[in-house]
Structure 1
């Protein structure tokens, strides 16, 4: 029970709530309310703004950890945790709330989310409510009336200290592993117990040989046997628990690392520095190598290593000089594994490169299979694939040979150690230094001593592959991103008017000798429709990507409403700038899913209206499944014009103030193109539009035409003059 006295130390009380209360709050006694998404998001924004974090609605929705279709209490907690808050949601009696919990997110019985800003017995309770048009209202009510207003559910949140938040570039890996530190501590504790219990069989055999058999002490034998059986039973249970702890810790780390890696890929900058798709897929696949190395048998073998000295110490107690045998064998096993590490390191690096080449050829072939078959270039792709595959196979063979050498060396040393223990033990028995039972116990304990090293030899062979995978993934994770790698928000601009200005913009691809865009400056006022024309390779598509914010200029700045595009929250950019790229890419799923692309807040009416403008409704409405029609990967089975219609719908979905369209109707037939242009002209009447085109038909939408050549605007004219020149 939380202390209700307002005079108590608030920090201490809040710590109690955040650490102790969640256990009680995890399973509410009744179903929590279903708050409206808008008010809950506004409440989260309000909590963040009190710490100086001005996140927009889109930024809150787009936080990497949020995967639910609906923004509910669980996703709100996830959002707060992602930006450095300790947060929890659950059922809590309203009467227990006091000022140390504030600000907190409460829920009116109607389902509306509110911020409980403060609670004071004298001044009452200050609630902040959120209205539909974007404003908020502060209301004060009596403390006694609070249970009648609020449901017994609350989101408690507190900002962590800056020092508590990991800042290291390698946090994706070590931070993920350390999330399960308590489980790993339990693994160590379980290993301690099971290794001590492992002594029981050796001591049992020694006592039976030295005491029970000579004296025919059957009762003692029964008692000892019962004790050992009990110990072995506990050993089985603890080993099972240890394996479960390792699996749970591995699952937790796996989930976090997988999410962080995928989020990194989603937020990679589209600036020409990207790896090939096949190479990137190969690097990400290496995550499995890294994960397997730090879980299961590898981790257990590492945890068991310190107990080698325990077994050697016990051998010295019961068999004296026989402890020298494992003392010599242990470093020999370690040295045999270390000796091959430099060779394995070089092989692992070469194998990684070969695998990337192999995956690259495979992905390119699959993506361009139609072209490969149409041009008869299968022989070329087969030769490339076989070269990469042969190189990888050769390196794999060498790696397996070296690894097997280390494993065989460890096994041979273990067998020689057993023989040496018996050989040396016989002479010690003759001298009366040890007993027969002590020698047999020493043999068993010697095996237990070297067993972890045998597993470690195999683990060391995989260590280089894991290290290479870690380096490759770290390089990806350290690369610049275009997303929310840190919690520092950009400028919130929920609505952009649509003024576009380029100031001395230049852009160069990595390794290019000359820029694609050269010191370009232009201004597009609100509502103007601009067509950009020019020869192939003149820089038109690059210019459209700069305006859309998909790539950043090498020099100069792109301004929207007078603000540098790089400073505006990316979610606001995506909602205010509708982009249709020249390359149309559809995903497997229904037509509706391809239109929505995860934005489930738009109802069917809005979606249908946009689909009518883009021409999607023209071909979907006649299909038996309608908008539930299943599409194959890349939209195979649809014509180029149909794919363009779907892509155009995506660009219009958010009702953006700016449209950037790259050849939006190039694959449409004449009648469909004419209909789409007519509807688009009405729909975009007050919007700013930038179009890349080679077709005069799209000039009907334009007020202004820019002719681009070699990355510069050479002509700024009107559509009529362009038509006149074409005659």
Structure 2
């Protein structure tokens, strides 16, 4: 229990998402420390072997003793080889475990992040996720074990002093030089690492934006504009990365030069001592060998500090992401077993981040369970925003959105959305099979339910004619399918599982007139008795609803029975 105060202090100082996996792997790192300690001790054996050969074996022509010493050295080298492999293995194991735990936590955070607090650029967000590799490379690097080698510098210096006396002065004098070079370059490394990360995220942002909308980029001729942005990002990132590498090399090069100076210093001083018979040839050679073991760990520390700067910047960026608030309640969330479908909005106001105007302004609305309501309005009137608030994707800045009398912010977001079938305007499909896109691994959606939902949406009509059928693999976002086909699959996904609430945002915008008519005919009996929110510009779809709400500039300007509102629309009496 003696390590508990240290563990508690570590938890307070570092972010839990990082320190917890590290503490879970402390047993592995302890094995690394033991291996490193043994490797350092074995390193002394080679120098002592050299001294013994020159001072004892050669003058006495003791060949049999040389054989015995060689056998002992061979055993030490063998153990050293095994321990070095084990050290690399244990470091990699610990790094892989930390990578898995932190990566899983970070992806869960990404899924739980409030959409109004996420980074504006998708490329920036994916770039931050990529910085996880920087953390993993640091914790899985053998350079990290250089920290364990530092205490053995003192042991090595003590052995040199014991054997050669003043021969300890050259390597001792070089230690402050190496440490000072590392400390002086560290602030510049921090600054350059931060700039390099920012430039890398900008480059990633341009790349993701271009690849994600390559068809549109080609169609509208935006290639030259994006190419110039890419070249600018490349130039900036190359310049900052070059400065980072050059600055990092200063400390490493200083350590290499210091090693050479210390070695030559020992030889120069040692020749004078040897001439005065104060030391033997074996001692001089042993001390020169040990000199390298003094400076080498410092060179590794210099390398570690350069990596530490990049790791620290990555840690700050990822930690800032982890500090973003999650959607859902701060305390224990409600997991509704069953939802009736009553929806109520009380004085709801909402503005998107950095938007000048409110998307919704003082909206008050009540939808009874099982009621089917259509929403009409101009582009930008707030219809889709209303659907997003009901789904809990965004939180209102004012007012409250309730389902069955409970604020949606009190529900577990995943549990709430399992009770709502949503077909949003974008019709984004996930890379995978058509079956995956409809079922989304929901336990209540089996093969029969998938076929039923696909038949209702019209998906079965074209999937039944394809050789692979529902196992057809889709590319990202469903590329390769027509807009109407993607829309049909999205509707099937919303209908699967018979959720009590349905939210359809322009469900037939990509369909032809006949497909839309057929869809309406199939959907009319399906939506009976279920709460339906239908957002559309097509009046033909209003056959599915019994009530119509008209929005304009984020406010309700008309609300009533379908026929009444349609008559007012035809007469031009709705602003």
Q: Aligning the two structures, in what range does the TM-score lie when normalised by the shorter sequence?
A: over 0.9
Note closer, same or farther for the CA distance 1:300–1:405 as it changes in structure 2 (3 Å cut). Answer: same
Asked if residue 511 in structure 1 is aligned to residue 354 in structure 2, the reply is yes
Between the aligned partners of 2:541 and 2:366, the Cα distance in structure 1 is 21
Per the TM alignment, residue 193 of structure 1 is displaced from its structure 2 partner at its CA by 1.2
Residue 343 (structure 2) aligned to one of 475, 497, 500: 500
Between the aligned partners of 1:389 and 1:364, the Cα distance in structure 2 is 15
1:668 is aligned to 511
2:364 is aligned to 521
1:460 is aligned to 305
Q: Is the 8 A contact 1:508 1:516 kept in 2?
A: yes
Q: How does 1:272-287 map to 2 (within 5 A)?
A: 273-287=118-132
Q: Is the 8 A contact 2:444 2:497 kept in 1?
A: no
Q: Is the 8 A contact 2:335 2:416 kept in 1?
A: no
Residue 458 (structure 2) aligned to one of 615, 630, 636: 615
Say which SS state the counterpart of residue 18 (structure 2) adopts. Answer: helix
Runs of 5+ unmatched residues, structure 1? 1-162
Residue 572 (structure 1) aligned to one of 415, 424, 429: 415
Between the aligned partners of 2:100 and 2:12, the Cα distance in structure 1 is 20
Asked if residue 326 in structure 1 is aligned to residue 171 in structure 2, the reply is yes
Residue 605 (structure 1) aligned to one of 448, 463, 466: 448
Residue 395 (structure 1) aligned to one of 240, 253, 256: 240
Q: Is the 8 A contact 1:169 1:477 kept in 2?
A: no
Q: Is the 8 A contact 2:423 2:507 kept in 1?
A: yes
Between the aligned partners of 1:630 and 1:168, the Cα distance in structure 2 is 47
Residue 392 (structure 2) aligned to one of 537, 542, 549: 549
Q: How does 1:303-314 map to 2 (within 5 A)?
A: 303-314=148-159
Q: How does 1:165-244 map to 2 (within 5 A)?
A: 170-244=15-89
Residue by residue over 1:520-574, the C-alpha shift from the partner in whole angstroms, topping out at 9 and shown as x without a partner, is 1111011111111111111111111011111111121111111111111223201
Residue by residue over 1:7-41, the C-alpha shift from the partner in whole angstroms, topping out at 9 and shown as x without a partner, is xxxxxxxxxxxxxxxxxxxxxxxxxxxxxxxxxxx
Asked if residue 450 in structure 1 is aligned to residue 295 in structure 2, the reply is yes
Say which SS state the counterpart of residue 493 (structure 1) adopts. Answer: coil
Q: Is the 8 A contact 1:268 1:483 kept in 2?
A: no
2:92 is aligned to 247
Between the aligned partners of 2:43 and 2:415, the Cα distance in structure 1 is 62
Q: Is the 8 A contact 2:372 2:532 kept in 1?
A: yes
Q: Is the 8 A contact 1:641 1:668 kept in 2?
A: yes
Aligned residues between the structures: 563
Note closer, same or farther for the CA distance 1:659–1:692 as it changes in structure 2 (3 Å cut). Answer: same
Per the TM alignment, residue 251 of structure 1 is displaced from its structure 2 partner at its CA by 1.1
1:582 is aligned to 425
Note closer, same or farther for the CA distance 1:167–1:674 as it changes in structure 2 (3 Å cut). Answer: farther
TM-score (norm 2): 0.94
Q: Is the 8 A contact 2:439 2:446 kept in 1?
A: no
Note closer, same or farther for the CA distance 1:415–1:268 as it changes in structure 2 (3 Å cut). Answer: same
Say which SS state the counterpart of residue 542 (structure 1) adopts. Answer: helix
Between the aligned partners of 2:537 and 2:11, the Cα distance in structure 1 is 51
Between the aligned partners of 1:204 and 1:681, the Cα distance in structure 2 is 92
Q: Is the 8 A contact 1:273 1:510 kept in 2?
A: no
1:726 is aligned to 570
Q: Is the 8 A contact 1:179 1:252 kept in 2?
A: no
Per the TM alignment, residue 234 of structure 1 is displaced from its structure 2 partner at its CA by 1.1
Note closer, same or farther for the CA distance 1:638–1:726 as it changes in structure 2 (3 Å cut). Answer: farther
Say which SS state the counterpart of residue 340 (structure 1) adopts. Answer: helix
Say which SS state the counterpart of residue 715 (structure 1) adopts. Answer: strand
Per the TM alignment, residue 634 of structure 1 is displaced from its structure 2 partner at its CA by 1.5
Between the aligned partners of 1:169 and 1:410, the Cα distance in structure 2 is 31
Per the TM alignment, residue 399 of structure 1 is displaced from its structure 2 partner at its CA by 1.6
Say which SS state the counterpart of residue 432 (structure 1) adopts. Answer: coil
Say which SS state the counterpart of residue 131 (structure 2) adopts. Answer: helix
1:120 is aligned to none
Say which SS state the counterpart of residue 492 (structure 2) adopts. Answer: helix
Q: Is the 8 A contact 1:169 1:478 kept in 2?
A: no
Asked if residue 699 in structure 1 is aligned to residue 537 in structure 2, the reply is no
Between the aligned partners of 1:658 and 1:588, the Cα distance in structure 2 is 26
Asked if residue 536 in structure 1 is aligned to residue 379 in structure 2, the reply is yes
CA RMSD, aligned part only? 1.9
Between the aligned partners of 1:291 and 1:537, the Cα distance in structure 2 is 44
Q: Is the 8 A contact 2:157 2:172 kept in 1?
A: yes
Note closer, same or farther for the CA distance 1:247–1:610 as it changes in structure 2 (3 Å cut). Answer: same
Per the TM alignment, residue 367 of structure 1 is displaced from its structure 2 partner at its CA by 1.3
Between the aligned partners of 2:244 and 2:197, the Cα distance in structure 1 is 12
Between the aligned partners of 2:448 and 2:355, the Cα distance in structure 1 is 47
Residue 596 (structure 1) aligned to one of 434, 439, 442: 439
Q: Per chain length, whose mean CA-contact separation is higher, i.e. which structure has more relative contact order (CA < 8 Å, sep 6+)?
A: 2
Runs of 5+ unmatched residues, structure 2? 1-7
More helix by share: 2
Q: Is the 8 A contact 1:546 1:552 kept in 2?
A: yes
1:558 is aligned to 401
Residue by residue over 1:257-300, the C-alpha shift from the partner in whole angstroms, topping out at 9 and shown as x without a partner, is 11111111122212264331101111111111121122222212
2:283 is aligned to 438
Q: Is the 8 A contact 2:91 2:142 kept in 1?
A: no
Per the TM alignment, residue 601 of structure 1 is displaced from its structure 2 partner at its CA by 4.7
Asked if residue 626 in structure 1 is aligned to residue 438 in structure 2, the reply is no
Between the aligned partners of 1:346 and 1:322, the Cα distance in structure 2 is 39
Note closer, same or farther for the CA distance 1:483–1:310 as it changes in structure 2 (3 Å cut). Answer: farther
Per the TM alignment, residue 244 of structure 1 is displaced from its structure 2 partner at its CA by 1.1
Note closer, same or farther for the CA distance 1:696–1:351 as it changes in structure 2 (3 Å cut). Answer: same
2:213 is aligned to 368
Q: How does 1:318-357 map to 2 (within 5 A)?
A: 318-357=163-202
Structure 1 runs of 4+ aligned residues shifted over 3 Å read 163-169, 272-275
Between the aligned partners of 1:451 and 1:434, the Cα distance in structure 2 is 25
Q: How does 1:8-47 map to 2 (within 5 A)?
A: none
Per the TM alignment, residue 166 of structure 1 is displaced from its structure 2 partner at its CA by 6.9
Per the TM alignment, residue 429 of structure 1 is displaced from its structure 2 partner at its CA by 2.0
Note closer, same or farther for the CA distance 1:168–1:415 as it changes in structure 2 (3 Å cut). Answer: closer
Residue 288 (structure 1) aligned to one of 123, 133, 137: 133
Between the aligned partners of 1:479 and 1:179, the Cα distance in structure 2 is 25
Between the aligned partners of 1:569 and 1:195, the Cα distance in structure 2 is 54
Per the TM alignment, residue 168 of structure 1 is displaced from its structure 2 partner at its CA by 8.2
